[in-house]
Amino acid sequence: MTTPDAAVRACFVALTSLLLVLLAGCSTAPKFPPAPAEAGGKDYSYVIGPGDNLNIIVWRNPELSMSVPVRPDGKITAPLVDELVAQGKDSVTLARDVEKVLGKYVRDPIVTVLVTSFVGPYSEQIRVVGEAARPQALNYRNKMTVLDVMIAVGGLTDFASGNSATILRSADGNKQYTVRLKDLLKRGDVSANVEMRPGDILIIPQSLF
């Protein structure tokens, strides 16, 4: 005859076994597709953002050449150039815009714009949130990988569920991808290293155990 205590223990064992099976199933079946190894997209050109410093060179007109910061509102001010939007443009596009403005005062101006310090627009930055040692926003660099990002943020915390991390990619309409950070960092599995895209958000959840 089964005692009440034995029945309770049997029920507890059955429930525990079922929970372990369910957790195992969750861990082996990612909710999101794996991130592609190569991010794809068009060739990257650096986009100017607030906080960048620009060197504007006007050929044969040194009095019009100077170094200027991009203000928080995304605009620049230079000799004969007032309130010109720089944010969101590459250096070549901005140089042509400066030439149009200077063309009112100088005959056939030739302008070169050099970016001498880089911050970039917020929309292009890589954001790392969750169980990274130093969560932060990073400037995107061409061909940047998730390994580069993890080195910059100091790796994972002891509480991170690295293989449950995801990338939220605005360039793909906020599609979410799975990345295997634990395999990459703890096991040296280079197949888990994937390229980042401008504007990616790397989300590292906390482990349940």
| CATH number for the domain harbouring residue 180 | 3.10.560.10
The reply to whether 18 falls in a domain is: no
The reply to whether 157 falls in a domain is: yes
Based on the fold, state whether residues 109 and 82 are members of the same structural domain: yes
List the domain range (segments joined by +) for residue 105. 53-117
Percent of the chain at pLDDT > 70 equals: 85
Token pair of 56 as six digits = 């504007």
The reply to whether 3 falls in a domain is: no
Based on the fold, state whether residues 165 and 129 are members of the same structural domain: yes
Based on the fold, state whether residues 128 and 72 are members of the same structural domain: no
d(CA 52, CA 128): 22
Integer angstrom CA distances of residue 140 from 119, 132, 143, 168, 170: 9, 18, 9, 15, 14
Give the mean model confidence (pLDDT) for residues 23-52: 78
Q: pLDDT tens-digit profile of 14-25?
A: 444 444 444 444
Among the three residues 88, 117, 146, which one is the final residue of a domain in this structure? 117
Based on the fold, state whether residues 60 and 86 are members of the same structural domain: yes
Based on the fold, state whether residues 86 and 151 are members of the same structural domain: no
Based on the fold, state whether residues 112 and 60 are members of the same structural domain: yes
Of residues 150 and 40, the one with the higher pLDDT is 150
Q: pLDDT tens-digit profile of 48-88?
A: 999 999 999 999 999 999 999 999 999 999 999 999 999 99
Q: What is the CA radius of gyration of the chain?
A: 26
DSSP 47: -
Structural domain total, the chain: 2
The reply to whether 89 falls in a domain is: yes
d(CA 131, CA 158): 8
Q: pLDDT tens-digit profile of 139-183?
A: 999 999 999 999 999 999 999 999 999 999 999 999 999 999 999
- The kind and range of the H/E element at 88 are none
* Residue 78's CATH number: 3.30.1950.10
Q: Are 165 and 207 in contact (CB under 8 A)?
A: no
Based on the fold, state whether residues 68 and 136 are members of the same structural domain: no
Non-local (6+) Cβ contacts of 187 within 8 A are none
The reply to whether 13 falls in a domain is: no
